[in-house]
Amino acid sequence: MSNPLSHAETDTLLKRINQEIAQGTFEATEQNLQQMVECLGDTRGMVRLGFAEALGEIGKPATPFLEEALLHHPNPVVRRASGKTLTLISDPSAVPTLIHALLNDEDTVVKGSAIGALARTGRESVPALLDILGSPDHPESTKGHAAWALSFIGAEGKEWLYPRVSSESVEVRAAIIGTLAKLAEDDPDEETLTILVNALSDPSENVRSEAAAAIGKLAYQPAIPQLVKLLQDSVLESRKSAALALMKVGDRSAIEPLQTALNIESEPSVQQIIKLAISQLEKQVEDEW
């Protein structure tokens, strides 16, 4: 706004708005909402938080004004706070705007605010996040943000994740396996576990290792044959992941194939991991007796 309020005027405004919201008399007019969004640029953090919480209480009527500020306000403080306030509202209609801010804003905090809002919005954000992961046009930092948001969304996004598990994009497959691995810790349903086991034969080493780590953490014994097969993988990191997963699964039946793999293994770093796995499994057998 052309005439910024003084601190005293801003404090009075916030107090009045909170009273009106509490009494149910607040009018979500264009002037009121624009003024509140502009106050997100106040130099005092607690005051910005106060207006953000008030806008969060108002909810969806405030979304268009926050979107406009997120996209076009010259003050990065207002853009940051607008993104954070959209996190409180979690309005699915804001997803395209949040994606645009994530991909185009020059301020890293604004990007962080946008990804936080996308994560909190939930399942409606998943298709756009998967598109980011699958595109060659975005930097790894942005893809990392998208993968984190998918993991945060978790079970809400399952319906979008399953169809994309065979995506041509390694980044998409890896992010989906990472998300499903986290979900399986709380709800190890058969479909998710099957996807994790199948991922042990994925063309990408990153995906194979991600899946092996997840299976090890879950101690999922039906995956032992596939993990044993992975001990013969051409990529040493996959062989390491397989040995570690077999160790964590903790089934003594893995000792013999691990010993066989050790006998033919030529890489010292892999040999060390296999020896560790064998020793831990043998110790487990001793402890049982």
Q: Residue-wise pLDDT tens for the chain (289 aa)?
A: 446 899 999 999 999 999 999 999 999 999 999 999 999 999 999 999 999 999 999 999 999 999 999 999 999 999 999 999 999 999 999 999 999 999 999 999 999 999 999 999 999 999 999 999 999 999 999 999 999 999 899 888 888 898 899 999 999 999 999 889 988 988 888 999 999 999 999 999 999 999 999 999 999 999 999 999 999 999 999 999 999 999 999 999 999 999 999 999 999 999 999 999 999 999 886 665 5
Written as six digits, the tokens of 191 are 């479909």
3-state secondary structure 159-226: HHHHHHCCCCCHHHHHHHHHHHHHHHHHCCCHHHHHHHHHHHHCCCHHHHHHHHHHHHHHCCHHHHHH
Query: Could you tell me the pTM of the whole model?
Result: 0.79
- Please give the Cα distance from 103 to 33 (Å, whole number): 26
Q: How far is the CA of 280 from the CAs of 21, 138, 154, 231, in angstroms?
A: 61, 42, 33, 17
Distance CA 112, CA 143 (A): 12
Residue 160 near residue 179, CB atoms below 8 Å: no
Which of 193, 240, 180, 201 has its CA nearest to residue 221? 193
Distance CA 5, CA 34 (A): 13
| Contact yes or no for 86/77 (Cβ under 8 A) | no
Q: Which of 47, 105, 55 is nearest to 80 (CA)?
A: 105
* 91: three-class secondary structure by DSSP: coil
| Domains with residue ranges and CATH for the chain | 1-121 (1.25.10.10)
DSSP 259: H
Alpha helix segments (H runs only) across 39-167: 45-58, 63-72, 76-89, 95-104, 108-121, 126-134, 140-153, 158-161
Q: How far apart are CA 11 and CA 16, in angstroms?
A: 9
